[in-house]
Structures are given as C-alpha cells and as structure tokens.
Structure 1
Amino acid sequence: MHLGSMRSIAVLIACVAAAPAAVYEVGSGKPHPTLASLPALAPGDEVRVHPGTYRETKRWMQSGSASAPIVVRGVGDPRPVIDVSGLNVSGVMPNPRGAFQVEASNIVIERFALKNARNGSKNGAGIRLTGGTISNITLRDCVITDCDNGMMSNGCDRVLVEGCDIARNGANDGYSHNVYFAGGSFIVRGNWIHHSVGGQNFKTRAHFTELLYNRIEASAQGEIDFVDDTPYTGTSDSNAVMIGNTVISVVRPSTSNVGKYIVFGQDIGGAHNGTLYAFNNTFIAGTDRIRFLEGTSAGASLVAAGNIFVGSNNIVTGGWASATGSGNWQPNTAAIPGGFTGTVRGSDPRFVNRAAGDLHLLSDSSCRDLTPGGLTYRDGAGANRDGTARSEYNGVGAVAARAVNGVVDAGAYEYGGSTIVVDTAVPPPGNGTGIAREWWNGIGGIAVADLTSNAAYPGAASGRDVRTLFEAPTDISDNYGTCMSGYVTAPVAGAYVFTIAGDDNCELWIATDGNAANKRRIATVPGWTGPREWSKFVEQTSASIVLAAGQRCFIEALQKEGGGGDNLAVAWRFPNGAVEAPIPGHRLTPFVRN
C-alpha cells in the first residue's frame, strides 16, 4: 500500500472517531414524531422531546460513556408527558415494566412528567432501572405520579436522583412505594417525595444511600425504609446517611402502620449490619404514636446529631446494636435516649411559620448553635466523609447554600436563612389589591380555544371585577369563559411552582419579564377538577420557575365552562415549600386592558 493511501485511511479513521454526537428532535412536526421512531443511540447523543402527551413506553437500551453520556431531555413548556394509562407495562418482554425502562449505563433523563404506569402485579413504575451491571444513571427534574411505584430499581449502581417531584404512587398493598430501590449506591438530593398511596415514600434495599436536602412527607404507611437485600446489604458498610432533610408524617388510618416513620435494618430476614447517620434533619410527627428512628436489625447502629424531633416522644426505638447522639432537640416530655449527649429539650422549637411550611428558626429558638462540629460518616466503601450540613431544601430542585453563622443550628434550616414572609409582605411595586376577572357569557364548548377564538374576546367582556383571592366564584353559570389576569410579585428569591384548578378546561400563563405579550403557558387543566382540587392532573402544576426577590410577573388564568359545576383558582408554592392556595390579593395587582 502506498504511504499516501495509508495517510488517507488514517485521516478517515480520525474523522470517524471525531464524528459529532447526534441530536434527535422528537414531537409533533419534528423529524421523529414518537419515541419509538428513534434509531439506536450512541455515546454523546441527545434526545430532545418537545411538549405533548406521548402515549407510549420506552426502553432505553444503549449505553453512553462516562465522558459522553446519552441525554434524554424534555424541552419546552409545558414539559412533555409520558402517559401510559392502559398500556402494557407487565415486564413480559418485549414490554417494559415502566413508562421509561433504563437498561443501559451512562444515561441522563430529565424534565419529563411520567404517569399511570400500572400492571396487574402492582409493580409498574414511572421510571424503572433494571440490570445488575448498569451504572451512572441520572434522573433529574421529573414529575412522576399515579404509578404502582414512582421510581424502581432491581440492581444498579451510582444513581443520582435530583430535583424530582414524586407523588401519589402506590397500590394500597403495602408493597409498592413512591420510590423503591435496590442495588449499589444512590444519591437522592433536592426532591419532593410525598403522599404515597400505599407503602412508603422512600424504600431502599441498596448497599449505600445518601438522602440529602429533600422534603419527604405524608406517606400512607411510613416515610423511609432502609432495609435488607442480602446481595447488597450483606456486605460491610451497608450504610445510609440523611443530611438536611425535612420529614413530615400525617395521621394515618389505624390499619396503616400508624407509628412507622424511619426504619433501618431488616424486613425480610436478610443481613444488614450497617449504620444510619442522621445529621441536621427536621423530623415532624403527625401523631404521638410515631417512632422516629427505629432499628430492626441486631447488628445495626445509629449516629444522630443536630436533629429536631417534634410531635412524638418516641425518639429511638427498636433493637439497635448501638445508638449515639449529640446536639439534638426534642420535646421536654420525651426521655433522652441512652447514648445521647448534649440534648436540648423544650416545648416549642420556634419555627418561623410551621403552618405555612417555613421551618427556619426564630432568634429565640433553643435549637440555635446546637450541632457539634466535625461530623463524619462512612460511605459504602468504608471511607470517611464530611457530614456538615452545607445546604438547605428551598423547593423542588432548589438546593441553596445554608446561611451558617458560626455553629450550625439543629434541624434542616438555620436562623436567619431565606425566611419566607407569607402573610404580611406587600409585594412591590403593585398596590396589592387583587386580580382582575373578566367573563364572557353565551359561549359554548369546554375548550379554552372556544373562548380565545370568539369574536368578543378579549375586547368585549360581559363583565369585569377585581377579586381579593386568585379564585373565581364557584357554580355561577353555564356556557361562559373567564380570564383572570394581573401581576404577581415574588417576595423572596428562589424556585416557585404554580398550580391551577378549575372546571371545565383551564390554562395558566406567565411572563416573568412582566410583559403580557411575552406570556407562556405553564400549566393546564385538561379535564375538570373540583374547587381547589390541586392534584388531580400532573398538567395542573408548573415546572419550577426561578424568580428574584421583588420580581413582578404577568400572570393569566383562562377558564372555559360548558355545563354543570364551574370553578377556577390558582395557587403557588414558595421556594421553602410553603403554599398559598389560592394566592391572596396582597400578592397581586390587577391587569388593565388598553
């Protein structure tokens, strides 16, 4: 072969090796109308899925590489919806056992709404990770609802779950959960995991789990289980660490594990001799029967520091091999557990506004400056790591730096952090008088387009008033449409989430620059809801919207009523998780049409 030919081949090989990764656009009017139409993927490829409802499941079967993962991303507003209601998620091949089933390594999945993954065995999942050898999976900014299990794995390693809203999953059998993992190591950070229908909010049989800066609340049968699965928990250092979480239980029916809260140890008789480390969490019990930290393995150990326990006297229960603690706060009616030192007791931890969800500390809180320094924990490989609480949960996906001044306070939040003023702040620059409501009578149909396409809209409304809540009157008429519009001002910086409820069909629009001409749709009611029914459809809730303190946004809610009942309301959730439902008039300024 001539030298020139060899050089040509070398150049060709180099060009092929350097070929750029592909970007695949999926959606109506895009090169790939469905997920099923995608080709086999290669390392570095990106799949961009545009808004719409996709009635299909998808098995992700090709691996990326550590330096060039495959990225599957929802783009545009609202986020794409994967609705698998009525589809086959049995797990009988070639059908998956989830809306998305990940069967390969080095994959990132982010910004989807996945729902209705159910099967006869009650083990369908919104996202399922399967295969004992897969690793390096990131699941980010997903909303997963109304599945047998929200997320589920049966063997994988190095998984990151970040900024997800996982709710209303479960099957009332006690064996299905909002999150159910088994495998190697998992990091779960900045998520809102809540209102499981059956089972626990978070259950893991993994070798090592890190729960960092999450809000976990209102389960049907227990908030968190770290339990056994011998292939993973039977080896040394099968530990778990909780730092900076808020965990809140509610009153449950008498048949639903009324006292179960956090369990570490066994539930199927396998080996589990690791340690649970609990640092700087805020634990709130919905009933005095709650058992906060329960050990169920004779070889399991507990290290608890800088936590706040509220609502129950049962701080440490069960059969721990050892249980030590330092710098915790607990009710003055609770006995200090053996092995605990530096415990402070009181009648009230003095949160800023517990009812509104603001769990920062007031200046006179006895929880201040309580956490001991130098906290460490052992990871799944036996290495020591820093256990200092450096962040705090300020909404789904919004993990902010913790404003520590000297010694770290007990609990998930500091004194003097990003306190939310819920009821008294008048948002500049508006006058805080409410939201404008306009209505158009005598328009048939239930689609919002029936209103917006009518010749009378928007200039010839049948009437106009100003409401002191972001809520229209209920059950007032038939065959009409409503527009409520104005400006909403963010009192603090952070990630906000908006929700709309109404009957029949509704849309919620926002322009974060305050210019109505730049509005974009962020949420819808695709069917109908009852008054203030905030969680019937996943489409009712927006993605997180980051706003600056004092930022003034144009906001508009559209409703189309056909017949029967009618209602309309809009709520929002603050960066710290507090909710105003509906939004009060002192946050709002009416919009005036030219």
Structure 2
Amino acid sequence: MTTYYVATTGSGGNGSASSPFRTISEAMAANLKPGDEVVVKPGTYNESINIDKDGSAAGDITLRSEVPGAALIRPPSGSYTGISVNANYVTIDGFDIKGGNGDGIEANNVHHVSILNNKVHDSGESGIQFNYSDFVKIVGNETYNNASSGWYSGISIYENRNITGDTSTTGYRNIVQNNISHDNVTKSGAHTDGNGIIIDDFQSTQASGHPNYTFKTLVDNNLVYENGGKGIQVAWSDSVTVQNNTAYHNNQDPLNDGTWRGELSNAQSSNNTWVNNIAVADPSVNKNNTAVDNTSYGGYTNANTVWANNITYNGTAGQSSVRTDGGNAMPSTANGNKLGVDPKFLGAASGDFHLGSGSSAIDGGTNKYGVGSVDLDGHARVVGTVDMGAYESGSSAAPGTPTTPTNPTTPTTPTNPTTPTTPTTPTTKEFVGTNGNDILPHTGQSNGGNETFKGLGGSDVLKGGAGADVLDGGSGTDTASYAGSGAVNVNLATKAASGGQATGDKIASIENLTGSSYNDVLTGGNGGSNILNGGAGADKLSGGAGGDVLNGGADNDTAGYAGSGGVNVNLATGAASGGYATGDKFVSIENLTGSSYNDVLTGNSGSNVLDGGAGADKLSGGAGTDVLIGGAGKDIMTGGISSDTFVFKTAAEAGSGSTRDVITDFQHGVDKIDLLAIDANGSAQGNGAFHFLAQEGASFDHKAGALTWHYEDKADATVVQGDLNGDGVQDFQVQLHGHVQLGAGDFLL
C-alpha cells in the first residue's frame, strides 16, 4: 500500500511526503492500486475531482483530508460536481466541499463506496447523491444549503441495483448513519424532494427492466432539520430500517402541497421498519405538515410496515400528527409509539436536540429491531433502556458544544471559505515515527495537548493522552492506546471517539485499540483483523468483520455481534464461526451479545451473561451462575449447572404458542425466571408486578398481571403464562421441559 500526498505548496512533485502533488486530480490520475491512500494537506483546492480507479475487497482507494475539514474543495465556476465517483471500493473522508451546479459528491453505477465525515454544502443539486449503486456507506457527514435548483436532497440514494450479483442477504448493504442534514432546498419552489435524506425508488418504478432491490438498508442516528421537503423519506423502496433518527421542522417550502409533507415518510413502500425515531412537525408553515406520513395510492398498500417506539409532535399535545392515506395502518400506542407528545429537547431553537430532563423519549425506545452501539455524539447508545432519537441521554457528560450547529438557519461553516484562515502549516505539535515499530510519544515527551501523531511504517503504538488528537498509524498494524484514561468509546469503523482522553480524537489507519481501566466500548469493524484490549473495567468489545482478538482484561467483559449475521460462539472451547465471529479469538471474555439473527451462544465454567438479541437463538450457560436473555424470536435456553436466571424484558420476547421460548433445564428452587422488566398492568401507572397463582392449572382471575402455570402431557412441558390486561387470555408463554412444580419463589416478579 502506498500513501501519496497533495499540498497547495506542491509543484511538479511525485506525490511523496517531501514532494507532494499540487492538485488532487494529479494524485487521482497516478497509478493507484487497491489499498493506496491519497492524503490531502490543509488548503483550498479549486478543482472538480474525478475518481475512476478501482480498489478491491483487499483495500479501498482512499482520498482523505489530513486534517478533517481543513482541505477545502471548491470547483471552478461552471463545474457540475465537486467529486465524481465512477469506481468501486473507494473511500472519501474528511473534506469540506462547496459549490458546483450539480451534486457535491456524486457516484454512479458503483459498489462498496464510503463517504465519511465530509461537509458538503451550497451545491445546486444534492449534497451526496448515489445512483444505480450497491453497498453504499454514508456516515458522519454534514450536508446543508444544497438542492437549490430543483428536486434534490441533502443525501439521496436512488434506484439501487444489485450490480455485484451478490445474493447474500446477511446484514445491511447500505448504511446512512450519524449524518446531519439541514437547510437543503430553497424555500420557494414547490419541490417534491428537498429532503434531508431520501431512499428513492429501489423498486425501479421509474426505469423499466430492473428488478426490485430488496437488500437491507439502514438509516440510523441521523439528525435532519429545517429542510424544504421531508425529513427522512423512503419512497418506492423496500427492506429499509429507519431507527433512532431525529427529524425537526422540515417541510419548510411554503409552496409544497399536503401530498409532499411528513417529517418521516413511508410512501408506496413495504417491509420497512421505523423505530425509536423522534418526529416534530411545524404546522405554522403549512397546516398539512405532519410528523409521520404512511401513505400510498392507486390501490397499493404499504405491507408489513412496522412503526414502533416513535414520538410524534406538532406543538399541540395529544394531536397524533400522522397521515395514513391509502388504507394504511396508523402507528399504535400499543407498539410503544407516543403520539402527540413533546420530546422536550434541550434547545431546538438554538440547534441543541439532546433530550431534556423528563423527556418521554428517554428510555422510551426498544432494542427489539436492533440498535446501534453509539449515538450521534459517539457516546454509548444504551443507558438503561435505549432512548428515542439520535442522542442517548446520560451516556456521558453532556457535551460542552452540541454536535449540531448552534444556529439551524445559519450554518457554522463559513459560506465563502475560499481563503482559509488557518495557515497550511499545522499549529498543533506533531510526533512523527519511523518505518520501524514506534511508541509515540517517546519517553520524556509530553502528550497533554492537541497533537498529531504519525506512526508511518511499522507496527506503532500511539498514545494521544489528553486533548483532541489526530492518531494516524500509517502503514503496518497500529494501536491507539488509552491506558491511563477515563472510560472511552472508540469505533474504528465510524472513527468516532469520545469519553476520557478519546474525546475529540481523529483516527486514521488504526487497526488495534487498548482501552482504559474503566468501562470502555471498543469497536473494530474496519474490515480487517483487529485486536481490542479492554484492560480493567467492564468493557464491551465488538470486532466487526475479520478474525479479531477480543481481550477483555480484568472484570466482566462482553463480546458483542450487533450488525452481524448469525454467529456461533463457545467461550468454553474458544470456537467462533458465522458472521463477524468467524476467526475471532477470546481472552478474558465472560459475556456474549448475539446478532439479530439465529445465534448459538455457549458460556464456560464461570458466570456468564448471554444475550441472544433478535432471532431464534440457542443459549447454553454451562457451569456457573449464568444470566440468559433470549431476546426477540423463539429461543431455546439451557442454564446448565448452578443457579441460573432467565430474563424476559417484554412479553413479545417470551412469545406465545409455537413461538414461545423454551427453557430446557429449569430447576425448581434453584433457577429464576425474571419478569421484572415486563409491565404486568399496562393500563396503570408505573411498572406493575405480576401476582402468581400457585395452584397448578389455575385459570386466570381476570385481573391484570396474573401469572399461572400448567403441565402439557403430550409435550412433556410445563407452561408459564401471563395475562397483562385481565381479559382472561394469555399474552405470553414460557415453556419449561418436563413437569416442574413451580412456586412464587421461582420468579422475580
């Protein structure tokens, strides 16, 4: 792998660090190979860039701003795009892109392209636009003041197609995550689009001869506000999950009619899931503005569309602010939706969409359909129960400066930054290694400020210490170390870093992570083999794809596989296969969290917590006092030797009838069934407790929260069942193998 450099001070160079290219276009015309990287130094580049050289599965062609946001791309007058991508396996990271009559970043007929951490603004058409593509990743960008010339959006993926021929349905093929999209489209045009984010026509209704694209797409942790059109729109597109987004006061174009309104819009689309979102409409612009739009026409019905644990609000408490034309279902409060409820942002008028004290969005979400590991700030996503919206309350100290711009109508990025105020010479201290194995900083050097660390070649260890640092490992296998820090949350896939000494850090070419002595969240997932060393503390380690080494260190640590296909992991033997688990190695791991698919999780002789997540999972605790959490789907759980606890967080997780969970070895007086998280009486305030009817085969007493049990001879099974609403009909069941004589002491109610 070769690294090429570009600098405004270059002149006829060969792209080396000492003799950089003068323009980005020169670098992109070089003999680039898979895994090569073009690093652009701070400055203004007056050019329109075309990328036409492919990377491969072995490595992307990467175009990266050396200092995030400091390389400014300004296309000359009359140019169409800022960056045009016509190649596969490409990453674009960290630029400020302004202008162009067309799209800021445009990609056509490509696959495995990642657009990361860019600011894209003041483009005539979309900020970021993909057409006829596959395996798309748009993460960590800000788009604003785009789409002034017509039916365009901040972020748009249009008519995806399976151009690779890959038929695998494991995981999400397209990810739109952790972006902020605001103030796109002039507010004077009756535009049909102008959305913050749109997933558009995967059914190919506007282009004949192409099959419906039904591979899974994720729209997660995004903030969209003050756009001319809808906040997040899924139109003529299926198999899309829209989760933990915040949409606020979109539909600002006063000339749009009611057909084109909705903070969250599911139009002519099926098999989609909308969960844990916040949608706040602004009817002052147009009375037809609604928080949710679940509509269709021409006899089409939006089939199998899930609306769960979302908040809607239009400024008037109790008004649902939902439109359901075409015979489509209304989001139900029974599915955790809170309709007509103020989410109580800390300061929406000043651009702060964090949740205030007493917000119903706090702990109001669900992990039934999957949930990300971090929020838009990069903080740990789940504190207690997952929150609704893009920000998780209480995941760390509230940030001093919100991630969102301080004034929604006036972007904080200068509107005319053609002359950068920052000199091209870095103002921060640099520590530069060699082509050997370095530890930076060297003994005796201070690392307490905002510094840049460059490992260059070799296997380096970079210790940024306090301050917002740039950690660039260079070539080789490199480690970012947070030993001596408070708890950190670092993600190599998204490059998000927060908490302790990680706060504000920028990460590049880092393969391994070492955590602190506290409770860290370390995530690999950059496609290679990562070594994640948690150190002391109760750490959560997720390697992602590739054969990873997960070393929990001291205390109780968890290996997690959220976002993976089904996995089979055995802590007793160390065997790991399937999905992201393939090739993983475990050191000092006590707990496992599975994927959203069918997992097999096995503990060891110690005390383990096994959480299957969604899917039909098989959990086996082994020896030791274990906690088994089946999650959604029909699960089979075996506690093993010692006293074990089987946890059910919702009635839906337990299942009913043929879908009910099974416990194969429940021991009366030894094991416990934990129902504490289930509200036994949903009509009363608070989390009501169950009352146990001790007599075997007792009928329900028509009081909410009744718990009974009976033996089914044909199945040789004892069945525990609960009635949540007092109608005398079971709402969930749990099956125990054999005839078990149960008492109240066998439950946590």
Greater strand fraction, Structure 1 or Structure 2:
1
SS of equivalent to 1:36: helix
Match in the other structure for 1:300: 302
Matched, 1:276 2:272: yes
Match in the other structure for 1:145: 121
Corresponding residue to 2:143 among 163, 166, 169: 166
- Per-residue CA deviation, residues 479-537 of structure 1 (Å, 9 max, x unaligned), is xxxxxxxxxxx7489899995879998947986989799999x9xxxxxxxxxxxxxxx
Match in the other structure for 1:35: 24
Corresponding residue to 1:191 among 150, 170, 179: 179
CA–CA distance in 2 between the matches of 1:143 and 1:417?
26
Distance 1:292 1:419, change over 3 A: farther
Matched, 1:309 2:312: yes
Worse overlay, 180-189 or 156-165: 180-189
CA–CA distance in 2 between the matches of 1:49 and 1:137?
19
SS of equivalent to 2:25: helix
Distance 1:104 1:167, change over 3 A: same
Shift of 1:294: 1.7
CA contact (8 A) 2:321 2:340 kept: no
SS of equivalent to 1:193: strand
SS of equivalent to 1:149: coil
CA contact (8 A) 2:321 2:339 kept: no
Corresponding residue to 1:125 among 99, 103, 115: 103
For structure 2, the residue ranges without an aligned partner over 5 or more in a row are 11-18, 162-172, 187-193, 203-212, 430-446, 453-466, 471-494, 505-749
Corresponding residue to 1:111 among 79, 90, 94: 94
Amino acid at match of 2:84: Q
CA–CA distance in 1 between the matches of 2:196 and 2:388?
24
CA–CA distance in 1 between the matches of 2:306 and 2:21?
52
Shift of 1:240: 1.6
Distance 1:356 1:79, change over 3 A: same
SS of equivalent to 1:197: coil
Amino acid at match of 2:24: L
Distance 1:516 1:165, change over 3 A: closer
Shift of 1:109: 0.9
Corresponding residue to 1:200 among 181, 184, 195: 195
Match in the other structure for 1:393: 376
| Residues 102-501 of structure 1: pairs in structure 2 closer than 5 A | 102-118=85-101, 124-131=102-109, 134-147=110-123, 148-173=125-150, 175-182=151-158, 183-184=160-161, 185-198=173-186, 199-205=194-200, 206=202, 207=213, 208-228=216-236, 233=237, 238-250=238-250, 252-257=252-257, 259-266=261-268, 273-287=269-283, 289-297=288-296, 298-301=300-303, 302-311=305-314, 313-319=319-325, 322-323=328-329, 325=331, 340-344=334-338, 348-361=342-355, 364-372=358-366, 375-376=368-369, 387-388=370-371, 390-394=373-377, 399-405=378-384, 407-418=385-396, 420=398, 491=400, 499=412
Shift of 1:200: 1.6
Match in the other structure for 2:83: 100
Amino acid at match of 2:247: V
SS of equivalent to 2:82: strand
Identity %: 23
Number of residues of Structure 1 aligned to a counterpart in Structure 2: 385
- Per-residue CA deviation, residues 361-391 of structure 1 (Å, 9 max, x unaligned), is 5554444544455x23xxxxxxxxxx23543
Shift of 1:179: 1.8
Distance 1:308 1:389, change over 3 A: farther
CA contact (8 A) 1:493 1:549 kept: no
Amino acid at match of 2:324: G
- Per-residue CA deviation, residues 296-321 of structure 1 (Å, 9 max, x unaligned), is 43232431111121226354323366
Amino acid at match of 2:241: V
Distance 1:246 1:195, change over 3 A: same
For structure 1, the residue ranges without an aligned partner over 5 or more in a row are 1-20, 90-97, 119-123, 267-272, 328-339, 377-386, 421-489, 523-543, 554-594
- Per-residue CA deviation, residues 264-301 of structure 1 (Å, 9 max, x unaligned), is 234xxxxxx42331111121222263222223432324
CA contact (8 A) 1:500 1:508 kept: no
CA–CA distance in 2 between the matches of 1:77 and 1:344?
39
SS of equivalent to 1:393: coil
CA contact (8 A) 2:69 2:96 kept: no
| Residues 432-581 of structure 1: pairs in structure 2 closer than 5 A | 491=400, 499=412, 507=421
CA–CA distance in 2 between the matches of 1:87 and 1:210?
35
> Relative contact order (alpha carbons < 8 A, sep ≥ 6): 1 or 2 greater?
1
CA contact (8 A) 1:290 1:314 kept: no
- Per-residue CA deviation, residues 400-457 of structure 1 (Å, 9 max, x unaligned), is 212421x43444444534463xxxxxxxxxxxxxxxxxxxxxxxxxxxxxxxxxxxxx
CA contact (8 A) 1:64 1:70 kept: yes
Q: What TM-score comes out, normalization by structure 1 length? A: 0.56
CA contact (8 A) 1:166 1:178 kept: yes
Shift of 1:111: 1.1
| Residues 6-45 of structure 1: pairs in structure 2 closer than 5 A | 21-27=1-7, 28-29=9-10, 30-37=19-26, 38-45=29-36
Shift of 1:143: 0.9
Corresponding residue to 2:47 among 56, 59, 67: 56
CA contact (8 A) 1:221 1:257 kept: no
CA–CA distance in 2 between the matches of 1:24 and 1:303?
47
SS of equivalent to 2:329: strand
Amino acid at match of 1:292: A
- Per-residue CA deviation, residues 70-121 of structure 1 (Å, 9 max, x unaligned), is 11111137521111141432xxxxxxxx221111111111111112110xxx
CA–CA distance in 2 between the matches of 1:362 and 1:99?
39
